[in-house]
């Protein structure tokens, strides 16, 4: 069952019969999308079952009617059920926000319910059977039995907890709160529509989001594919990139997994490109002579720190003990939202923010833990180069793994160069929009890109 010999399903005397596997994708209207976690206390929980025929296939006519009904209803949350039935669905819906449920029904909660639904709503849903209500107590109550959400969650995650831990043991160190306020700066180069060059390296995956974010605030963003199929293609790509940097006011290094994070570390491929003489000269000309800006997010940040553009503001050979980004404490990739705090406005990229502003930002990386020795940390703090920090729910920088997802020292998420015009950060600020993170609370918009464009006005 697969496209290559090693995935054929045959092993010793075990054979998988020829199997037709079909995949289908149905795009939907984002305005009608709701997430599965319970949203409010006191709302109704309804069960909607899709009938199946003798072959266990769904009645698609009924399914279509149900879909039409749900699209016109005031639904807070919806969850599609599977082999775990209602019991599993209720648990997962409750885990998200820690909102409990009180259930009163004779329906079998543990029977598999493929293609059926659990709905949270403020009023009854046509075709639905009300089976309970949400409640503030973090429990699921079924008749006389009460189950704590915490115990249910531990039972759900414990089988693979040792293999895929959600968090590492919290660090015993503390996270300082850094505060540095600066007057906003403007470039000596004036243009209302600065040109942005966004190189797309093998493995880059955030170039489209980055270009969109810049275009929405008036910049002229160009994505340039770096071709490496042949030595000649590499040479041509190096020359083209250097030429494009010289014609642009902003260099954007987007996120992704350039060259599959090989060899033995993320960002090394991009760093190698930036160190090539032709590209390095163009980058330093942008910074030293043309008052330009550079932004590196995630994989781009990893490349900036490996070249020295942050925190030193120049491309240089790495030295033992330099600040770095290393593997997450958890030992694997993380993908989640986290809250970050503006700790300094030294960088023009942060001119539209104030120290203390909080933003909920999506993160996706395997090597995002910032580390530096105490001497370098003191220097970065003194010059206002510690740009952003991970915080807890009260806005305080923290080492707690549920808020500091990679274990960065002093909860540092982003740093800048001495001049501030080079900024590197792990959070994907570009991944935002009216239909992104609709079930995430807090401030999802971080005005980096608008500040970058205003810098040249």
Give tens-digit pLDDT for 429-438: 999 999 999 9
Q: What is the pLDDT of residue 325?
A: 98
* Dist CA 418 CA 387 (whole Å): 11
Interior angle at CA 268, CA 205 and CA 351, nearest 5: 65
In contact, 133 and 84? CB cutoff 8 Å: no
- Assess if residue 71 is contained within a domain: yes
Its domain, for residue 153, covers 33-157
Claim to verify: residue 232 and residue 135 sit in the same structural domain: no
Beta bridge partners of 223: 198
Claim to verify: residue 346 and residue 285 sit in the same structural domain: yes
- Assess if residue 185 is contained within a domain: no
- Assess if residue 187 is contained within a domain: no
If one compares 219 and 5, the residue with the highest pLDDT of the two is: 219
C-alpha pair distances (Å), 295 with each of 182, 200, 214, 236, 422: 19, 14, 12, 24, 6
* Dist CA 165 CA 177 (whole Å): 28
Can you tell me the mean pLDDT for 183-206?
96
CATH of the domain at 139: 3.90.650.10
Claim to verify: residue 275 and residue 139 sit in the same structural domain: no
- Assess if residue 224 is contained within a domain: yes
242-286 confidence digits (pLDDT tens): 999 999 999 999 999 998 888 777 899 999 999 999 999 999 999
- Assess if residue 169 is contained within a domain: no
Q: How many domains does the chain have?
A: 2
Claim to verify: residue 400 and residue 287 sit in the same structural domain: yes
- Assess if residue 20 is contained within a domain: no
Q: Is 71 assigned a catalytic role?
A: no
7-55 confidence digits (pLDDT tens): 566 777 877 777 777 888 888 888 888 999 999 999 999 999 998 888 8
In contact, 82 and 113? CB cutoff 8 Å: yes
Q: What is the pLDDT of residue 32?
A: 86
Claim to verify: residue 144 and residue 218 sit in the same structural domain: no
Q: Mean pLDDT score of the chain, rounded to an integer?
A: 94
- Assess if residue 418 is contained within a domain: yes
C-alpha pair distances (Å), 175 with each of 302, 396, 412, 435: 22, 9, 9, 33
Catalytic residue among 37, 120, 207, 430: 430
Claim to verify: residue 122 and residue 220 sit in the same structural domain: no
In contact, 293 and 421? CB cutoff 8 Å: yes
Claim to verify: residue 50 and residue 104 sit in the same structural domain: yes
If one compares 363 and 170, the residue with the highest pLDDT of the two is: 363
In contact, 442 and 361? CB cutoff 8 Å: no
Catalytic residue among 298, 365, 367, 413: 298
Beta bridge partners of 412: 389
pTM, entire model? 0.90
Tell me how far apart the terminal alpha carbons of the chain are, to the nearest angstrom.
57
Claim to verify: residue 138 and residue 276 sit in the same structural domain: no
Last residue of a domain, one of 157, 184, 212: 157
Instruction: Tell me the CB-side half-sphere exposure of residue 252, using CA atoms within 13 A.
Output: 34
Beta bridge partners of 100: 135
Claim to verify: residue 209 and residue 153 sit in the same structural domain: no
Q: What is the pLDDT of residue 269?
A: 95
Last residue of a domain, one of 96, 131, 157: 157
Can you spell out the DSSP letters for 27-85?
A: ---GGG---SS--STT-EEEEE---B-TTS-B-HHHHHHHHHHHHTS-EEEEEE--TTH
Claim to verify: residue 52 and residue 148 sit in the same structural domain: yes
Q: Is 430 assigned a catalytic role?
A: yes
Claim to verify: residue 152 and residue 255 sit in the same structural domain: no
- Assess if residue 293 is contained within a domain: yes
Q: What is the pLDDT of residue 140?
A: 98
Q: Is 298 assigned a catalytic role?
A: yes
Can you tell me the mean pLDDT for 362-380?
97
Rg of the chain on CA atoms, in Å: 26
Catalytic residue among 79, 359, 365, 428: 428
Residue 1 confidence class, pLDDT cut points 50, 70, 90: very low
Model confidence at 132: pLDDT above 60: yes
Model confidence at 96: pLDDT above 60: yes
Q: What is the pLDDT of residue 5?
A: 52
Last residue of a domain, one of 132, 157, 182: 157
Claim to verify: residue 150 and residue 204 sit in the same structural domain: no
CATH of the domain at 225: 3.40.50.880
Q: What is the pLDDT of residue 8?
A: 62
């Amino acid at each position: 069952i697969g496209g290559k010999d090693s995935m054929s399903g045959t092993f010793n005397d075990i054979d998988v019969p020829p199997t037709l596997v079909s995949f289908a994708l149905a795009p939907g209207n984002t305005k009608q999308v709701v997430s599965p976690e319970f949203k409010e206390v006191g709302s109704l929980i309804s069960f909607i079952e899709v009938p199946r025929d003798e072959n266990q296939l769904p009645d698609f006519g009924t399914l279509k009617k149900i879909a039409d009904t749900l699209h016109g209803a005031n639904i807070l949350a919806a969850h599609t059920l599977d082999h775990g039935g209602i019991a599993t669905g209720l648990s997962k819906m409750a885990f998200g926000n820690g909102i409990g449920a009180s259930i009163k029904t004779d329906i079998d909660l543990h029977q598999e319910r493929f293609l059926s639904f659990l709905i949270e709503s403020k009023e009854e849903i046509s075709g639905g059977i009300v089976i309970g209500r949400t409640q503030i107590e973090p429990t699921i109550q079924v008749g006389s039995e009460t189950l704590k959400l915490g115990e249910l969650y531990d039972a759900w995650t414990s089988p693979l907890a040792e293999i895929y831990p959600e968090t590492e043991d919290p660090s015993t160190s503390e996270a300082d709160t850094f505060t540095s306020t600066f007057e906003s700066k403007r470039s000596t180069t004036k243009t209302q529509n600065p040109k942005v060059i966004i190189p797309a390296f093998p493995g880059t995956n955030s170039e489209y989001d980055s270009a969109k974010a810049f275009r929405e605030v008036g910049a002229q963003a160009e994505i340039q594919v770096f071709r490496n199929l042949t030595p000649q293609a590499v040479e041509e790509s190096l020359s083209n990139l250097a030429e494009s940097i010289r014609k642009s006011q902003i260099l954007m290094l987007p996120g992704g997994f350039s060259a599959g994070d090989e060899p033995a570390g993320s960002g090394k491929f991009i760093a190698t490109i930036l160190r090539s003489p032709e590209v390095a000269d163009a980058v330093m000309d942008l910074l030293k002579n043309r008052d330009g800006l550079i932004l590196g997010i995630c994989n781009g940040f990893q490349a900036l720190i490996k070249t020295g553009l942050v925190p030193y503001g120049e491309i240089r050979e790495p030295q033992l003990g330099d600040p770095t980004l290393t593997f997450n404490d958890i030992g694997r990739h993380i993908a989640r939202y986290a809250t970050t705090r503006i700790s300094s406005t030294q960088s023009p990229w942060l001119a539209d923010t104030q120290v203390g502003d909080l933003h909920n930002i999506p993160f996706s990386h395997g090597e995002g833990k910032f580390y530096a020795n105490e001497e370098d940390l003191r220097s970065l703090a003194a010059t206002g180069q510690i740009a952003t920090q991970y915080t807890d729910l009260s806005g305080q920088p923290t080492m707690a793994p549920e808020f500091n997802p990679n274990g960065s020292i002093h909860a540092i998420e982003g740093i800048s160069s001495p001049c501030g015009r080079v900024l590197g950060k792990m959070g994907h600020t570009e991944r935002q929009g009216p239909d992104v993170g609709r079930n995430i609370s807090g401030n999802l918009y971080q005005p980096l890109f608008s500040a970058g464009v205003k810098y040249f006005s």
